[in-house]
Structure 1
Amino acid sequence: MKDNSQETTHFGYKTVDKAQKKSLVAGVFDSVAAKYDVMNDVMSFGIHRLWKRQTLDASGVRKGQRILDLAGGTGDLTAKFSRIVGPQGQVVLADINDSMLKVGRDKLRDMGIVGNVEYVQANAEELPFPDDHFDAITIAFGLRNVTDKDKALRSMLRVLKPGGRLLVLEFSKPEHDVLNSLYDFYSFNVLPQMGGLIANDKESYQYLAESIRMHPNQDTLKQMMEDAGFEQVTYQNMTGGIVALHRGFKF
């Protein structure tokens, strides 16, 4: 009997051909791009800004460095990194989705951020950059949408400089049962309704809730990073484990 496990993957709770997932995810983010920042604030009650601040603090980024903000979307982290690295540094805002990249580029240009930011449409599984190129890579709320996460992690390792670090900020598994139950109720009963009211797209936010549940938990992702070749991998739970920040180094 033919084993189809290598040919299929999950899109939320649905099983789809691996070749389909990229276009399905693209459809979600084409739909939500224009309202993405507003929905982030509403969905997280603004707490996503604190999660991203913690990621910045853990990045160790300094003036003159080269940073990859992968799946960087509308550019929240890119904007901060741009100011930190200064005119001698460089930040690459990369996203597989052209609609998100355009929203990010327009937003950052409206903020007056030009000169040290480059915009690249890129697939995390096959990054179009040289080996040993970046001092740090961040991927915030993007890894769960990648079809082949193991391949993507190996690709990130390749383009990191020795001594560089990867930071993965992603929704994860709440630490306590009561919080987990409340989070489930919010995700599947409130979040899609918000998506329908604010972004006129209930289905995309249903997928986002499902994609969070299908993402590897904290310890599983830690092991995946180690298997990809990262060292000294640690994670920090935030908001009771609703979000986790994983950090790993290349030596």
Structure 2
Amino acid sequence: MTEERKGGNAEPTTHFGYKSVPESQKAEKVAEVFHSVAAKYDVMNDLLSGGMHRLWKRFTIELSGVRPGNRVLDIAGGTGDLARKFSQLVGPTGEVVLADINASMLKVGRDRLLDLGVAGNVQFVQADAEKLPFPDNHFDCVTIAFGLRNVTHKEDALRSMLRVLKPGGRLLVLEFSKPTSKLMAKAYDAYSFAFMPLVGKLVANDAASYRYLAESIRMHPDQETLKAMMGQAGFDRVTYHNMTSGIVALHRGIKP
């Protein structure tokens, strides 16, 4: 559990990177970060991951089991990497919803996919992961890539994802996690807190947002904690796969 709740009449607080902020302010502060980085998001992803994010997403798609005719929800879908591939997999009889709480990111994703000619079976919805505006038992697969760590109440979001999945449907959570070796963890800390803000300043003219992103990764639950949270939310057969020495993990759960 990363959220804090204080006694008395004070508003509950949560983390925004390494800072504590009132829960009511977190979504707005996260929105400011992504409004700032939206235009350079794809370029920065490639620079900061050395292109590895494409391999992590490819593995997510392979493990999703998405087939023609399926309904897929991609939460925090950003610039549309996963939605684009899912659109091809589900075909004309299927449906993909690219959802993001951030209007700037959603616009970048919509414009990009329209430019690529991906439109017919993709919908774009501004939505909060904690309160998904979709019917019960609606989707065959739900994905969230590099978005769960920014959600204020992760337990609420996981339950919301469970609700909109059909029985037997799959949730896949792709997220930064805890390196599996001390040496890698040390190198990753140096990279995150020196290199990421520097590149953010040089390329996106925004060091602060990339410092927050590095901090938000450290505040996210580790592999076993997130696995337990998914089980508590009601998912069955929860497993995870470490990638790049645990810098990233892909969690998968099934709705009973």
TM-score interval, normalised by the smaller of the two chains: over 0.9
Distance (whole Å) between structure 2 residues aligned to residue 114 and residue 13 of structure 1: 39
Distance (whole Å) between structure 2 residues aligned to residue 88 and residue 200 of structure 1: 43
Distance (whole Å) between structure 1 residues aligned to residue 10 and residue 60 of structure 2: 34
Q: How does 1:36-55 map to 2 (within 5 A)?
A: 36-55=41-60
Per-residue CA deviations over 1:174-227 (Å, capped at 9, x if unaligned) read 000000000000000110000000011000000000000000000000000000
Structure 2 counterpart of 1:60, from 52, 57, 65: 65
- How far off is 1:3 after superposition? 4.8
Contact 2:11–2:22 (Cα < 8 Å) also in 1: no
Distance (whole Å) between structure 2 residues aligned to residue 177 and residue 5 of structure 1: 39
Structure 2 counterpart of 1:106, from 83, 106, 111: 111
Indicate the residue corresponding to 1:152 in structure 2. 157
Residue type of the partner of 1:2?
G
Distance (whole Å) between structure 2 residues aligned to residue 237 and residue 5 of structure 1: 39
Name the SS for the 1:20 alignment partner.
Answer: helix
Distance (whole Å) between structure 2 residues aligned to residue 129 and residue 168 of structure 1: 19
Indicate the residue corresponding to 1:25 in structure 2. 30
Name the SS for the 1:241 alignment partner.
Answer: coil
Residue type of the partner of 1:26?
A
Residues 1:84 and 2:108 aligned together: no
Structure 2 counterpart of 1:223, from 219, 228, 240: 228
Indicate the residue corresponding to 1:192 in structure 2. 197
Indicate the residue corresponding to 2:99 in structure 1. 94
Residues 1:128 and 2:133 aligned together: yes
Structure 2 counterpart of 1:250, from 228, 248, 255: 255
Per-residue CA deviations over 1:127-150 (Å, capped at 9, x if unaligned) read 000000000000000000000000
* Unmatched 5+ stretches in structure 1: none
Distance (whole Å) between structure 1 residues aligned to residue 67 and residue 28 of structure 2: 36
Residue type of the partner of 1:51?
W
Per-residue CA deviations over 1:10-47 (Å, capped at 9, x if unaligned) read 00000000000000000000000000000000000000
- How far off is 1:4 after superposition? 7.4
Q: TM-score, normalised by structure 2?
A: 0.97
Distance (whole Å) between structure 2 residues aligned to residue 166 and residue 12 of structure 1: 25
* Unmatched 5+ stretches in structure 2: 1-5
- How far off is 1:171 after superposition? 0.1
Residue type of the partner of 2:54?
R
Identity of matched residues, %: 69
Distance (whole Å) between structure 1 residues aligned to residue 246 and residue 239 of structure 2: 14
Q: How does 1:229-248 map to 2 (within 5 A)?
A: 229-248=234-253
The number of aligned residues is 251
Per-residue CA deviations over 1:100-140 (Å, capped at 9, x if unaligned) read 00000000000000110000000000000000000000000
Residue type of the partner of 1:219?
E
Name the SS for the 1:151 alignment partner.
Answer: helix
Indicate the residue corresponding to 1:74 in structure 2. 79
- How far off is 1:6 after superposition? 7.1
Distance (whole Å) between structure 2 residues aligned to residue 127 and residue 97 of structure 1: 14
Q: TM-score, normalised by structure 1?
A: 0.99
Residues 1:202 and 2:223 aligned together: no
- How far off is 1:2 after superposition? 3.1
